[in-house]
Amino acid sequence: KAGVTQTPRYLIKTRGQQVTLSCSPISGHRSVSWYQQTPGQGLQFLFEYFSETQRNKGNFPGRFSGRQFSNSRSEMNVSTLELGDSALYLCASSLAFSGHGTYNEQFFGPGTRLTVL
C-alpha cells in the first residue's frame, strides 16, 4: 500500500505570494491533518479534515486554509506569505473510524519544505 504523499517536496516563494500544498492520504484513509514544523515553534497543528469538513483547527491566522476533496486528498493554502511561514509542512492521514475505544494512528508524509524569501 502506498504511503502518504505530499507535493511538491520543495518550494521557494517570495513574500506576498500565495502557495498551495497537496497531500494524498493512504488509500482508505478519511482524515487528513496538517502540521507546521519550524525550529523555533516545533510542530504545531494547523487543521484536520474529515469527510470534506474541517473537524479541528489550530491557532493559526486566517491566511492558512485548507480543503479536502471527495477522494480524501487535501490541499493547504497559505496566502500573503510572510518570512515566518518558512517551514516544513507535514500532513498525516488516518482511517478515522469512530467508536468507543477507537484510536486513529497517524501516518505522516515526507513533508513539503517551503522557503519564503
Partner 1 sequence: AQTVTQSQPEMSVQEAETVTLSCTYDTSESNYYLFWYKQPPSRQMILVIRQEAYKQQNATENRFSVNFQKAAKSFSLKISDSQLGDTAMYFCAFMKHADGANSKLTFGKGITLSVRP
Q: Which residues contact partner 1 (rule: CB under 8 A)?
A: 31, 33, 35, 42-45, 48, 50, 55-56, 58, 88, 90, 92, 94, 96-106, 108, 110-111
Nearest to 29 by CA among 89, 90, 71, 80: 71
| CB closer to partner 1, 79 vs 104 | 104
Cell of 9: 517536496
Q: Is 1 or 100 the residue whose CB approaches partner 1 more closely?
A: 100
* Closer of 20 and 95 to partner 1 (Cβ): 95
Q: Which is nearer to partner 1, 46 or 116 (CB)?
A: 46
Minimum CB–partner distance for residue 29 and partner 1 (Å): 10
Q: Which three cell numbers stand for residue 108?
A: 505522516
The CA angle 41-108-102, to the nearest 5 degrees, is 105
CB of 110 to partner 1, least distance (A): 5
Cell numbers of 113, please? Answer: 519544505
Residue 8 Cβ, how far from partner 1 at the closest point, in Å? 14
Residue 72: left if φ>0, alpha if ψ -120 to 50, beta else—which one?
left
ω into 61 cis (within 30 of 0): no
